[in-house]
Amino acid sequence: MLAFHPEPDADTSQTERNPRGSGPWNGRKSILVATESFPNPLQSYVLNSLEEILRRGARVTIVAGGRLGQDEPERVGQLGLTGGTRYFPFDSLFGTLRSFQPYLWPFAKPGREAYRGLWTLATSRRWRPTGLRRFIKAMAEAPLLAGGHFDLVHAHNLVPAYEFLMVPQVLDIPLLTTFHGLPTIKGSGILTEGKKAELFHCGDLFLANTRFARRQLEQAGCPSHKIRILPQGLRLVDFPFRPKSAPTSDPIVLLTVARLSIDKGHRYALEAVGRLRERVPRMEYRIVGAGPYRKELEEAVRQFDLAGCVRFLGPLMGVELRRQYAEAHVFLLPSVTDPSGIHLTETQGVVMQEAQASGLIVIASQTGGIPECVEDGKSAFLVPERDAQSLAAKITWVLDHSDQWPAWQRAGRKWVEDNFASEQIGKRLWDVYDELLEPRRARHA
């Protein structure tokens, strides 16, 4: 933590004012980061974003609705974020009421913060509750208002942005929302049309990772002028480049990293592999991920007579995941669009960037935002979705042109370095922070 939070120099100790809020401004950004769950090992892009803004000297407070899993990624501790998250359950009234405990101890530090925040909330002219439930949530979150020391709220996805909308409204600070895709019809965290309209009206800026995601936001009602495209960043150090030649005696290894759900199109990959069994007998297809579609995929393995060449590896992260990237030759992401809206549509496909950075040749479907995130025909290859025959033909073509593998592998790595490196994405995010804060700084100079 100290590496990212240096103490201010003695000659800068004089107090300035926060450009919008009421707290002190000493030239360093203080960011409130709101997310659905933290830590969340499935959302490395959130941790990458946090690392980049910490690296640039920001102070960060994290608020979340809960946590995913019991173990914290090692990097959480390395960044000094262990135990620093404040939890405010979104969907549980009981959990919200538990957040009232600081009010029971008015002379302890948490209690003093709670009552100072409650006073700020009660005297605010910028926010008024629109119902008892929302007022209760605002009281639970009131300690965040104590001191008014935040300069900006950065929410990851629409639900956390709405849940903590009270904070930027009361403190009169910018709200930036990174959009990670629309929720499914049957999923949790769906905002009503009225809530979305309020969020899109009050939010200052919304970041979408692709033009496809931008269109999703526009269709949901977000004004076009409030949307900016910024991809999810990838830590290249986590995915070292290990190009591989076509094996002469060992099996060709195909790899998919994706949750086991129908929208990821695993079945079409299995059918494609089944079509190739006789032509490429030395082939192994590894599937990394967990999900509700496991039984259906196991049945497809039996249907296509693939028991000897398909391996379900379960969810892998860290070293184990990198080992799979290091051993595989071709990466498949045959995602599909579900017109019913029950399942998600791919907006970026970060696993493709992980694979390309590691030296794999990517073959993916022309779905959602995928075509924007690869160089089709140069460093990756696209096929129509739900088309096992085309997928099998493209795999065959790639295997038949093994002499071009080095060029495709280098091009893939460079493509990721140029467009998705977390350092580059972090710099662009920092510039967005500056852009949002500059008008307020100018008014308070």
Render pLDDT for 102-114 as a digit per residue (tens, 0 to 9).
Answer: 888 888 988 999 9
At residue 9 the predicted structure's pLDDT band, cuts being 50, 70 and 90, is very low
What are the residues facing 311 on neighbouring strands? 286
309 vs 292, 302, 312, 363, 428, CA distance in Å?
A: 22, 11, 10, 19, 43
State what percent of residues in the chain have pLDDT above 90: 64
State the pLDDT at residue 343.
58
Tokens at residue 339, please? 């017109």
Is the per-residue pLDDT at 71 higher than 70?
A: no
Q: What is the pLDDT of residues 180-218, one digit of tens each?
A: 887 654 555 578 899 999 999 999 999 999 999 999 999
How far CA 67 is from CA of 72, 137, 152, in Å, comes to: 9, 19, 23
Q: How confident is the model at residue 150 (pLDDT cuts 50, 70, 90)?
A: very high
The pTM score is: 0.88
- In this structure, of 151-155, 183-187, 346-350, the range with the lowest mean pLDDT score is 183-187
Overall average pLDDT of the 120-134 stretch: 83
Which residue has better confidence, 282 or 21?
Answer: 282
pLDDT (0 to 100) of residue 342: 56
Task: Give yes or no for residue 19 having a pLDDT over 70.
Answer: no
Among 27-36, 78-87, 289-298, 334-343, the least confident range: 334-343
Phi/psi at 409 (5° precision): -65, -45
How far, in Å, CA of 223 to CA of 210, rounded?
Answer: 16
What is the pLDDT, as a whole number, of residue 11? Answer: 34
State how far the Cα of 405 lies from the Cα of 410, in Å rounded to an integer.
9
For the segment 351-363, the average pLDDT, to the nearest whole number, is 98
Residue 86 has what pLDDT? 87
Q: What is the pLDDT, as a whole number, of residue 72?
A: 66
Indicate whether 5 pLDDT > 60.
no
Q: Answer with the residue of higher pLDDT: 184 or 310.
A: 310
pLDDT-derived band at 80 (thresholds 50, 70, 90) equals: confident
Segment of 7-21, 333-347, 414-428 carrying the highest mean pLDDT? 414-428
* Residue 21 binned pLDDT confidence (cut-offs 50, 70, 90): very low
Token couple for 337: 């669009």
pLDDT in tens, 248-293: 888 999 999 999 999 999 999 999 999 998 888 889 999 999 999 9
64-73, 341-350, 381-390 — which is least confidently predicted?
64-73
Closest CA to 85 of 49, 40, 48, 146: 40
Domains, the chain, ordered by start: 10-233+422-443 (3.40.50.2000), 239-419 (3.40.50.2000)
How far apart, in whole angstroms, are the C-alpha atoms of residue 45 and residue 29?
A: 20
